[in-house]
Amino acid sequence: MAETKLSGDLKADTSILKRKSRKRKEWENLAAGLLYLLPALLIVSVFLFYPMIRTLYYSFFVTNASGMTLTFIGLENYLSLWESTAFRTSMKATFLFALYTVPTTIIISLFLAIIANEKVKGVPIFRVVFASTLGVSVAAGATIWLLLFHPSLGVFNNILHAIGLSGVEWLTSPNVALISVAVTTIWMNIGFNFIVLLGGLQNISGELYESAKIDGAGYWTQLFKITIPLLSPTLFFVSVVTIINSFQTFGQIDILTGGGPANSTNLIVYSIFREAFYNGYFGYASAQAIVLFILVLIFTFIQFKVGEKKVHYQ
């Protein structure tokens, strides 16, 4: 009996030692992992978390032109946004801009990707052409379109004049300027979306199309029953990224219109920039930035809750 009890005690002690050893090993692994992640965590903290916290802090204050906080005013900056006609105009322009650019960019990119995925002679040339906008910076691309939209020297108005039509005030008319900037943005974003969608198309097994052909499925049946469903994860990713990018558009607005005419292209990011660095209202601009962050968060959440249900994984 004594030997049995001793044996049981030894087993219990051994089990306790093993658990302690396992826990120590887990803590060592965690410490080693955090050590490897430390450079990335420092970068993210300095360039992401700290600016976010600082922006939230500024939104509750009145600041001077140097960005120094003067007076704590609580939620007054947010209430001012609610009452501001200029901010409502900016929000309306932002939503319209997203409506113009997001579906159009995705549809055109998908169309080009399907064409470039065909196994015909000369397709590599078209792939390079379709993806070429990815290598053009926002400043260079906007400058190119600024010349195209020029009222007297621009190609578009010269074409209209050649066929007997009057020119269009592409960037100086409140009714046309936002559409003109949207066209520029669509052109700039096509390259990235095209490459991502083409990669998704090339990951679809060719055996599925061969089986569908044997069963008598035509081109359109294959497109809507095989291609689109199996491409849905890529389409979901592209839609999320495109919507976020549409809410963060800045460069082409600054170069093409400067937020005008009559604030018709004053998208929320450009409004934040103008209020902070032109007018010196850093607290007011920070409140706009927080509103933008919440909007992007809501739209992304909705996309994940609604869109992900329709995603088909292979």
Query: From CA 127, how far away is CA 119, in angstroms rounded?
Result: 12
Residue 288 contacts residue 296 (beta carbons within 8 Å): no
Per-residue tokens: 153 = 């020297």
> What pLDDT does 96 receive?
94
H or E, element range at 270:
helix 268-273
> What pLDDT does 9 receive?
55
Q: pTM for the complete prediction?
A: 0.84
User: Which amino acid does the sequence have at 270?
Assistant: Y
Average pLDDT per 10 consecutive residues for the chain, totaling 314 residues = 53 66 82 86 86 89 82 88 89 93 94 87 85 88 91 88 88 91 94 92 83 82 84 89 91 90 90 88 91 91 78 61
CB-based contacts of 241-245 (< 8 A; 24+ apart in sequence): 242/101, 242/102, 242/105, 242/106, 242/189, 242/193, 243/98, 243/102, 243/299, 243/300, 243/303, 244/296, 244/299, 244/300, 245/189
Query: From CA 17, how far away is CA 80, in angstroms rounded?
Result: 63
Rg (CA), the chain: 28
> What pLDDT does 120 receive?
78
> What pLDDT does 110 receive?
93
The angle formed by the CA atoms of residues 285, 141 and 149, to the nearest 5 degrees, is 95
Alpha carbon 196 to its chain centroid, in Å, reads: 14
> What pLDDT does 67 receive?
77
Q: How many other β-carbons are positioned within 10 Å of the β-carbon of residue 143?
A: 15
